Chains A and B, each alone.
Chain A
Amino acid sequence: MLLKNVYDVVVIGSGPGGLAAAVAAKKEGAEDVLIIERDVELGGILLQCIHNGFGVEIFKEDLPGPSYAQRFIKDVFSLGVEILLDTMVLDITPQRKIYASNKRLGFVEIEARSIVLAMGCREKTRAQIRIPGTRPAGVFTAGTAQRWVNVEGYMPGKQVVILGSGDIGMIMARRLTFEGVKVERVLEVMPYLTGLTRNYVQCLLDFDIPLQLRHTVKRILGNDRVEAVEAVQVDEKWNPVPGSEEIIPCDTLLLSVGLIPENELSRKAGVKLDPVTGGPFVDDNFQTSVPGIFAAGNVVHVYDLVDWVTEAAFQAGKCAAKHAIIIRRKESNYVPLIAGDNVRYIVPQMLDKRNLEEHEIRLQMRVAQPIEQPVWVEVHDKENLVARKGERYVRPGEMVTVNLKQKNFTDVEKAENLTISIIPR
Chain B
Amino acid sequence: MEETKKMICISCPQGCSLDVKVDGSIILKVDGASCKQGADYAEHEITDPRRMIASTVRVKNGFHPLVPVYTKMPIPKNMIIDVLTELRKVELTAPVELGTIVIKNVFGTGIDVITSRDMPTQ
Contacts and interface: CB of A to CB of B under 8 A. Distances in A.
Interface in A86-137: none
Given A50-B54, A198-B15, A151 B116 contact: no
Contacts of A342: none
Contacts of A304: 13
Contact of B8 (A41, A53, A66, A198): A198
A196 interface: yes
B116 A201 contact: no
A70 interface: yes
A236 interface: no
Q: What does DSSP make chain A's interface, helix, strand, loop or mixed?
A: helix
Contact of A305 (B13, B69, B116): B13
B117 A69 contact: yes
B54 A151 contact: no
A178 B55 contact: yes
A153 B77 contact: no
Contact of B70 (A52, A196, A206): A52
B52 interface: yes
Contacts of A66: 68, 98, 116-117
B68 A202 contact: no
Contacts of B79: none
B63 A200 contact: no
Given A198-B8, A198-B9, A150 B117 contact: no
Nearest to B64: A151
A47 interface: yes
Contacts of A70: 98, 117-118
A198 B13 contact: yes
Contact of A178 (B84, B117, B118): B84
A50 B114 CA distance: 12
B95 interface: no
Given A50-B56, A64-B54, A198-B9, A153 B66 contact: yes
A422 B15 CA distance: 79
A62 B66 CA distance: 22
Query: Most chain-B CB neighbours within 10 Å: which of A69, A197, A304?
Result: A197
Contacts of A153: 56, 58, 64-66
A347 interface: no
A389 interface: no
Interface residues on A, range: 20 to 34
B82 to A, nearest CB: 12
Contacts of A202: 10, 51
Nearest to A305: B13
B13 A47 contact: no
A417 interface: no
Interface in A159-186: 178-179
B100 to A, nearest CB: 12
Interface in B12-43: 12-13, 15, 17
A51 interface: yes
Contacts of A150: 56, 66, 68
A63 B70 CA distance: 9
A206 to B, nearest CB: 7
A50 B13 contact: no
A52 B52 contact: yes
A64 B8 contact: no
A206 B51 contact: yes
B10 A201 contact: yes
A304 B13 CA distance: 9
A197 B64 CA distance: 32
Interface in B49-93: 51-56, 58, 63-66, 68-70, 77, 80, 84
Nearest 8 Cβ contacts at the A-B interface: A197-B15, A66-B117, A50-B68, A198-B10, A64-B116, A153-B65, A198-B15, A50-B54
Interface of A: 41, 47, 50-53, 56, 62-67, 69-70, 149-153, 178-179, 196-198, 200-202, 206, 304-305
Interface of B: 7-10, 12-13, 15, 17, 51-56, 58, 63-66, 68-70, 77, 80, 84, 98, 116-118
Given A50-B116, A202-B51, A206-B51, 7 more contacts: A51-B54, A51-B70, A70-B98, A70-B117, A197-B15, A197-B17, A198-B12
19 contacts: A50-B56, A50-B70, A51-B52, A56-B13, A67-B98, A67-B117, A70-B98, A150-B66, A150-B68, A153-B66, A178-B53, A178-B80, A197-B17, A198-B8, A198-B12, A198-B13, A202-B51, A206-B51, A206-B77
